[in-house]
Each structure stands twice: as C-alpha cells, then as structure tokens.
Amino acid sequence: MRNLPIPVAVLTGFLGSGKTSLLNSLLKDEMLSNAAVIINEFGDVSLDHLLVERSDENIIELASGCLCCTIRGDLIDTMHDLLGKRDRGEVKAFDRIIIETTGLADPAPVLHAVMSEPTLLERCRLEGVVTVVDAVNGWSTLDTHAEAVKQVSVADRIVLTKLDLLSGREGEDMMFAIVGRLRKLNPSARLLTTHRNEATAPRLFNMGLYDPATKTIDVRKWLAAEAYETSEKRHRHHGHPHHHDVSRHDAHIRSFSFTEKQAISPQGLELFMELLKSYHGANMLRMKAIVKVSDDPARPIVLHGVQHVFHPPVRLAGWPDDDQSTRMVFIVRNIEKPMIEGLFNAFTDQLLGGADSFTDKTLSLNR
C-alpha cells in the first residue's frame, strides 16, 4: 500500500457552517483512524481539545490516532513536510489526508495545489471535496458571499447542518428552499445531513478517482453525468419558475453535461484541453470526463480539472458500463454549454473530414 497514491479530501464550508464539529465527529470513526488532518484556519487549531492527546510543533496527535497540522506557510510545503515525516517514520503511515480550509476560502487554490504540484502528484491524488452548508443561514450566505457559492459548486459531497433548528411550516419551507438551491448549483453532489447521523465517514469519503489500479473506484458514480442531464431537462421543461429567488451569485453559475459517440484523436484531445484552459480556464469551476480516444477506443481516458489545472489523464482498463461514449460534465461561471460542446465537436469532426474548417469553427465558437 505504501506505493499507492494517498487520497486527499478537501473539507470546506463558510464560516459557522459546522465544518469543525463535523470533522470532530468524523475523526472518531475507525475508517479515519489513520488519517492526517491539515487545518487551514486563522488563529488557533479549532478542534475540540478533548480530542487532542499531545502536541509536537505543528503536528498534533489526536485521541483518535489521527494527525493534525496547522498550516504555517504554504500548503504544498506543509504537505511535503508531512509526507517527509511519514517516510522517516516520525509519524505513523497515514492512509488519507483531509484538508480543512478556512471558512472564507475560495477552494480552487487548495485544489490547484493538490492537482498541479508534480512532486505531490507522485504521492497523492485528489479524492474529492466535502462542503458543509448551514441550513439556517445558508441561503443568506449564498446571497452575500461568492466564495460560498464556489464551495458548493465544486463539491462531491454536500453536508447540510443545523436542520434540528428548523421547525414548523416556516422551517420546512426553508429546508426545501435551501435543498433546491443546492441541487441547482450542483446537481451531481451527494447531499447528506448531520441530522440522524447521515453524514458518516463511509458515506463522505472514497469519493473519486485517485487510483484506478486499485479497482475500487466506481467511475459512473464519480462522473454522475445523469444528474446533470436530469437537471438540464428540468430546466428546459420548467423554465425559471423561481426567477425571483436567483441570487446575484447563483445567476452566474451553470452546470451541464454532454455526450459524444465519435472518438477524438489524442492530438485533438490535447488541443481541446489547451484551448479549454486558455479560453475558459478562469471560469471553469470543475470538470470531469470519461473520453473515447481513437488510438484505443476500448480503453477510455478520465479527466479531472479545476480552472486551469488538470490531473494527469488516466487511462482505464475498460469502460465502466455498456455506454462507450465520451461523457463530460462541467460546473462553470458565465459559460454557455454550446461554447464548450461545440469546441469539442470541432475536434471530433476532424475524424469525419472536417479539418479544413476546423480553425475558423474553433475561433468563432470562442470569440
């Protein structure tokens, strides 16, 4: 197991949403007994002191056995330092890293660090993002803070807290409203609550594609393209029945998916990715894809990106189901679906003899 990539999960959520309370609860689970925790909060470590057994510089051993670091300086340096201590036997051989971000954080830079640093990629893989949302104050937080919208948009799991504080008809209406808004922002994320102990470690972790060689990853669930398709159909059929509820931040966020049966060439895929990052990188909050490539159509490539940064492509041993089509899902800001779908199709059209008009088509799609 030492040579397998270590899964890295990012725990985020706005100030007061309940991240630390959730983390305290999760760390008591046997599944996380060998986890390392990095706290990216301002000030003192916010974990419950009852969990702290002893402290040695910035490494804290918790009563659960987990390790905790407060970030001092750069996240990449902190992770390198922690991995070095693991290699030297100065800390136990943890099997997962959890990064708790500050409540004010735009999660993108944290994801960039995990996904782009070459030396970290040799040791770690991004597992996914867990975002905590306060059911009582979440609506106003999303209205007021763009960071909170991005935290929800990039999530693989959304945990809704403080439902016990909602009561009566008004509380029920508030619950349905916030759930509907979260579903609109992020159709594919699994939504759990802390009510009745739903948000457990087994349900929150093992989220994504970090090591296909282990054969423990369900690409279909990770991709969740059907959730985006359902959301798109609902949007087309019902229009904007609650347009007055759309906040100034939500109005800029879109999610969509598309499929393509035609394989794309390796060179075409590379160019598509470069143009995608060049034209749309700043506004591409999250992208996941399984792609049919012409050099080996039976073995698709998996892509995972956040803004300008992408994990190295991973070639699977085979398709996860009978549908051997390219499937791409996007969560974006101020980008329309035809802009990206048309760009991708411009490259697959080359295989059908459309190369002569390729340059003109590509430029016109992205002006």
Q: Is residue 267 part of a domain?
A: yes
CATH number at residue 284: 3.30.1220.10
In sequence order, which residues have a C-beta less than 8 Å from that of residue 319 and are 6 or more positions away? 290, 298, 300
DSSP 321: S
H runs (alpha helix) in the chain: 19-26, 75-87, 108-116, 118-121, 138-144, 146-153, 168-185, 201-204, 219-223, 225-238, 266-280, 337-348, 358-365
Same domain, 182 and 37: yes
What integer pLDDT is reported at residue 350 of this predicted model?
Answer: 57
Distance CA 127, CA 120 (A): 14
Distance CA 48, CA 354 (A): 62
Q: Is residue 199 part of a domain?
A: yes
Distance CA 64, CA 32 (A): 8
Tell me if 160 sits within 8 A of 193, measured CB to CB.
yes
Same domain, 53 and 195: yes
Same domain, 38 and 119: yes
Q: Is residue 213 part of a domain?
A: no
Same domain, 142 and 261: no
How many CB atoms neighbour CB 177 within 10 A?
15
Q: Is residue 156 part of a domain?
A: yes
How many CB atoms neighbour CB 157 within 10 A?
21
Tell me if 290 sits within 8 A of 212, measured CB to CB.
no
- How far, in Å, are 119, 259, 309 from residue 330 at the CA level? 27, 12, 14
Pairing of strands 253-260, 190-193: unpaired
Distance CA 182, CA 224 (A): 16
What integer pLDDT is reported at residue 338 of this predicted model?
Answer: 92
In sequence order, which residues have a C-beta less than 8 Å from that of residue 63 and are 6 or more positions away? 50, 51, 52, 53
Q: Is residue 191 part of a domain?
A: yes
pLDDT tier, 224 (very low <50, low <70, confident <90, very high otherwise): low
Provide mean pLDDT across the span 12-21.
88
Pairing of strands 190-193, 157-161: parallel
Is residue 162's pLDDT more than 70? yes
Same domain, 85 and 183: yes
- 141: containing domain: 6-208
pLDDT tier, 241 (very low <50, low <70, confident <90, very high otherwise): very low
Is residue 16's pLDDT more than 50? yes
Choose among 176, 208, 206: nearest CA to 311. 208
Is residue 284's pLDDT more than 60? yes
What integer pLDDT is reported at residue 47 of this predicted model?
Answer: 56
Provide mean pLDDT across the span 28-46.
76
- The DSSP string of 186-232 is -TTSEEEETGGG---HHHHSS-S-S-GGGS---HHHHH-HHHHHHHH
- How far, in Å, are 80, 92, 96, 305 from residue 124 at the CA level? 11, 17, 9, 15
Distance CA 128, CA 1 (A): 20
Same domain, 320 and 174: no
Same domain, 255 and 354: yes
Tell me if 153 sits within 8 A of 331, measured CB to CB.
yes
What integer pLDDT is reported at residue 272 of this predicted model?
Answer: 93
Same domain, 192 and 53: yes
Same domain, 59 and 173: yes
Is residue 269's pLDDT more than 90? yes
Tell me if 157 sits within 8 A of 204, measured CB to CB.
yes
pTM of the model: 0.75
* Neighbour-count burial for 116-128, b at 16+ CB within 10 Å, e otherwise: ebeebeebbbbbb
Could you say which of 208, 228, 260 is where a domain stops? Answer: 208
**230 versus 85: which is more confidently predicted?**
85
Instruction: Say how many domains are in the chain.
Output: 2
Residue 297, classified by CB atoms within 10 Å of its CB into exposed (0-12), middle (13-18) or buried (19+), is exposed
Choose among 285, 295, 261, 266: nearest CA to 334. 285
What integer pLDDT is reported at residue 157 of this predicted model?
Answer: 92
Could you say which of 208, 239, 263 is where a domain stops? Answer: 208
- The token duo for 161 is 């807290």
Tell me if 64 sits within 8 A of 124, measured CB to CB.
no
Find which of 210-219, 228-237, 321-330 is predicted with most confidence, using mean pLDDT.
321-330
Same domain, 16 and 149: yes
Same domain, 173 and 251: no
Is residue 161's pLDDT more than 70? yes
CATH number at residue 139: 3.40.50.300
- The token duo for 101 is 């971000």
Q: Is residue 214 part of a domain?
A: no
Provide mean pLDDT across the span 78-88.
92
Over residues 47-57, the pLDDT tens digits come to 554 555 555 56
Same domain, 179 and 256: no
Choose among 110, 109, 114: nearest CA to 282. 109
Q: Is residue 352 part of a domain?
A: yes
Q: Is residue 217 part of a domain?
A: no
